[in-house]
Chain A
Amino acid sequence: MDANASARLKKRGSAWALNIALFISMLIICLPGLWIVLNSLRPTVEIMAKPPVWIPRELSFDAYVDMFSGVGQGGIPVVAYFRNSVIIAVTSTIISLAIGMSGGYAFARYRFKGKSAWFLGLMLTRTVPGIALSLPLFFLYAKVGLIDTHAGMIIAYTALNVPFSIWLIDGFFRQVPRDLAEAAQIDGCTRWQAFWQVEFPLARPGIASAGIFAFLTSWNEFALASQLTRSTDSKTLPVGLLDYTAEFTIDWRGMCALAVVMIIPALLLTYAVQKHLVSGLTSGAIKG
């Protein structure tokens, strides 16, 4: 074999090896999700079977039917949880977007003293572990009667989402050239008009993705929700997931079904934003 052919063979071989490595890693990424979906459709007997059943014999939507059939019939108040989750996540997202837009605009467009210190300070509030924050919040909420209310959760999640919204939205406003708004102002717009007519529409896709990110954070949060909610009045889906665990037994099938219910809205939303998310966070990376 001449050197040319062997080099070509080696190159093709390594290309194949890399493709296989990619395939396997994609498989590992998908596997846990697929495993959940599969098991939500299988009867409990089959999940528990020894030796394991690899090719499902019967698939049914029984777990979902059971789940929605109400308390006492093997169900959990999933409709109430779902409603709480939606109300809390949507409201806190809207509020934190409004606050984030005003804050992000300030960082993107104005120069002021201690700007980077303020930015860092706002970001650092996000690093406080949820469980550490839940202790004093629990105490404070108990005093003012916000435990187990929608309002309490909305306020907490708004504070959780504001720093990251500011970071994202700051990035998106920086991508909008300053000259555009200035031109609009020269043409007679007020600064307020210039913002809504020129800068906001241009940054809108990015702001939408900041919103979806905030929504996902609220939708998925557990550490705070597990301490600040008590009953079906305000329990969210992540907390509801624990309804399926008892001291020593777990209803795997029911939990899988609820997991699928939780993940579908998140899946659709993330798919919608994936393009903008990265560009907002990295816009400051190179320009600084």
Chain B
Amino acid sequence: MKASRLPPHIMLLLPAVIVLAAVVVLPLLLSLWSSFTPFRLTRPESVYQFIGIRNYQRIFGDMDFWIAFGRTVLLLTVALNLEMLIGLGLALLVDRQTRGQRLLRTILMFPMMFSPILVGFQFKFMFNDNVGLVNNALQSLGLTDKAIPWLIDGKLAFLAIAAAEIWSSTAVFAIFILAGLMAMPRDPQEAARVDGCTPWQTFRYVTWPFLMPFAFIAMTIRSLDVARAYDIIKIMTDGGPAGRTEVLWTLIARTAYSDARMGMANAMAYVAILLSVAFTAYFFSQLGKARAQVAGDW
């Protein structure tokens, strides 16, 4: 057999490479090509008509696109930072509990098993202006007598979406940082305390450097799949009302499937893909650095 002459690691990696090439890389090349054409689903022959970078010129001059792009980056920045902070806080809170840690960890993982589409639906229900839990509670407590239009007002809808996103993904950070806390040797902390460090100094200079690789793993895992937020937004507001919560992904879906302008949508999709890839590549490199630092300290 000729194939068995290949080195074993290539044989072992081959299936993965083939599948990913067929289902991800090939379609992406196809969409790269079609982003240079005026391709519309209703006119299949238009895929052979090359128009250069006109689609890209058009979207780069389009205010709606840039607003959606800015909103996407804002949502990701706000959500990821808050998730990291809240996750760290939760992990520290759980870590100091001596009893019931197993139960607490199970509860922490709870949001991770919810499908993003379910998270969107739950929060759409809870933030519903008429029958939602949030408004019901506010009204019953007498804090307001109006129905707050959570998902109708643009700014409030953004907050509601961010809340859903944070609820569903904080668990990732909490779980990994907690794993870091549990794997951490306690002696350096004791030593720092004996040497007269304040709790903040102990945390900043002893605990945090150790936890950092774990936080970056969580960040990397999260960034692999940031576009999950599409599912949440799709069902909560679908980019509405009047495009006030439109993010890159809902804009792509609308352009492609409602307007059938595939070529244009693919051009936008490429911007979204590059954004995701940039996020992930950045966190992977940070992960490498953080690992090297911890390894160097030991």
Chain A contact residues, CB within 8 Å of chain B: 18, 21-22, 25-26, 28-33, 35-36, 39, 47-48, 51-52, 54, 98-100, 102-103, 105-106, 110, 112, 118, 120, 122-133, 135-137, 139-140, 155-156, 158-159, 162-164, 166, 216, 219-223, 226-227, 238, 241-242, 245, 250, 252, 255-256, 259, 262-263, 266-267, 269-271, 274, 277-279, 281-282, 284-288
- The residues of A that contact B124 with a CB separation of less than 8 Å are 250
Question: Which residues of B in the span 1-47 have a Cβ within 8 Å of any Cβ on A?
Answer: 7-13, 15-17, 19-20, 22-28, 30-31, 34
> In the complex the two chains form, what is the Cα distance from A133 to B109 in whole Å?
28
Given that A22-B93, A124-B281, A216-B113 are known contacts, is A54 also in contact with B20, CB under 8 Å in the complex? Answer: no
Kindly provide the distance from the CB of A61 to the nearest chain B CB, expressed in whole angstroms.
Answer: 20
- The residues of A that contact B295 with a CB separation of less than 8 Å are 286-288
> In the complex the two chains form, what is the Cα distance from A185 to B252 in whole Å?
54
Contacting residue for B252 out of A110, A132, A279, CB 8 A: A132
- The residues of A that contact B227 with a CB separation of less than 8 Å are 129-132, 223
> In the complex the two chains form, what is the Cα distance from A255 to B125 in whole Å?
10
> In the complex the two chains form, what is the Cα distance from A278 to B90 in whole Å?
16
> In the complex the two chains form, what is the Cα distance from A222 to B120 in whole Å?
11
Query: In this complex, which of B8, B13, B171 has the most chain A Cβ atoms within 10 angstroms of its Cβ?
Result: B13
Chain B contact residues, CB within 8 Å of chain A: 7-13, 15-17, 19-20, 22-28, 30-31, 34, 86, 89-90, 93-94, 96-97, 104-119, 121-126, 130-131, 133, 136, 139-140, 167, 171, 175-176, 179-180, 183, 213-214, 217, 221, 223-227, 230-231, 234-235, 249, 252-253, 256-257, 262, 265-266, 269-270, 272-273, 276-277, 279-281, 284, 291-292, 294-295
- The residues of B that contact A279 with a CB separation of less than 8 Å are 179
12 contacts between A and B (CB under 8 A): A29-B108, A32-B126, A47-B131, A52-B136, A120-B281, A125-B25, A129-B249, A131-B249, A238-B231, A262-B118, A267-B113, A274-B105
**What 18 new A-B contacts, CB under 8 Å, besides A110-B7, A131-B227, A220-B116?**
A25-B90, A25-B93, A33-B122, A103-B15, A110-B9, A112-B10, A123-B280, A127-B224, A127-B226, A128-B24, A128-B273, A132-B270, A135-B256, A135-B265, A266-B113, A271-B106, A281-B217, A285-B294
Q: Are A130 and B217 in contact (CB under 8 A)?
A: no
- The residues of B that contact A128 with a CB separation of less than 8 Å are 24, 28, 273, 276-277
Q: Are B20 and A125 in contact (CB under 8 A)?
A: yes
Query: In this complex, which of A29, A105, A267, A270 has the most chain B Cβ atoms within 10 angstroms of its Cβ?
Result: A29
> In the complex the two chains form, what is the Cα distance from A116 to B66 in whole Å?
34
Q: Are A131 and B252 in contact (CB under 8 A)?
A: yes
- The residues of B that contact A223 with a CB separation of less than 8 Å are 227, 230-231, 234, 249
Closest-by-CB residue of A relative to B250 is A131
Kindly provide the distance from the CB of A222 to the nearest chain B CB, expressed in whole angstroms.
Answer: 4
> In the complex the two chains form, what is the Cα distance from A129 to B17 in whole Å?
19
> In the complex the two chains form, what is the Cα distance from A32 to B165 in whole Å?
13
Q: Are B24 and A125 in contact (CB under 8 A)?
A: yes
> In the complex the two chains form, what is the Cα distance from A256 to B121 in whole Å?
9
Kindly provide the distance from the CB of B249 to the nearest chain A CB, expressed in whole angstroms.
Answer: 5
- The residues of B that contact A156 with a CB separation of less than 8 Å are 23
- The residues of A that contact B96 with a CB separation of less than 8 Å are 18
Contacting residue for A219 out of B115, B256, B273, B294, CB 8 A: B115
Closest-by-CB residue of A relative to B47 is A139
Main secondary structure of the interface of A (DSSP, over half): helix
> In the complex the two chains form, what is the Cα distance from A132 to B34 in whole Å?
13
Q: Are B93 and A131 in contact (CB under 8 A)?
A: no
- The residues of A that contact B108 with a CB separation of less than 8 Å are 29
Closest 7 A-B residue pairs measured CB to CB? A129-B227, A220-B115, A159-B23, A132-B269, A136-B27, A106-B12, A110-B9
Query: In this complex, which of A21, A51, A99, A135 has the most chain B Cβ atoms within 10 angstroms of its Cβ?
Result: A135
Given that A129-B272, A285-B291, A286-B213 are known contacts, is A227 also in contact with B109, CB under 8 Å in the complex? Answer: no
Given that A52-B140, A132-B272, A140-B30 are known contacts, is A278 also in contact with B175, CB under 8 Å in the complex? Answer: yes
Q: Are A54 and B140 in contact (CB under 8 A)?
A: yes
- The residues of B that contact A278 with a CB separation of less than 8 Å are 175-176, 179
Given that A156-B23, A271-B106, A288-B295 are known contacts, is A133 also in contact with B277, CB under 8 Å in the complex? Answer: no
Q: Are A162 and B217 in contact (CB under 8 A)?
A: no
Given that A102-B15, A159-B19 are known contacts, is A262 also in contact with B94, CB under 8 Å in the complex? Answer: no
> In the complex the two chains form, what is the Cα distance from A162 to B13 in whole Å?
11
Q: Are A139 and B30 in contact (CB under 8 A)?
A: yes
> In the complex the two chains form, what is the Cα distance from A220 to B105 in whole Å?
22
- The residues of A that contact B27 with a CB separation of less than 8 Å are 133, 136-137, 139-140
Given that A159-B19, A220-B115, A281-B217 are known contacts, is A135 also in contact with B24, CB under 8 Å in the complex? Answer: no
Kindly provide the distance from the CB of A181 to the nearest chain B CB, expressed in whole angstroms.
Answer: 13
Contacting residue for B110 out of A29, A126, A221, A259, CB 8 A: A29
Closest-by-CB residue of B relative to A164 is B224
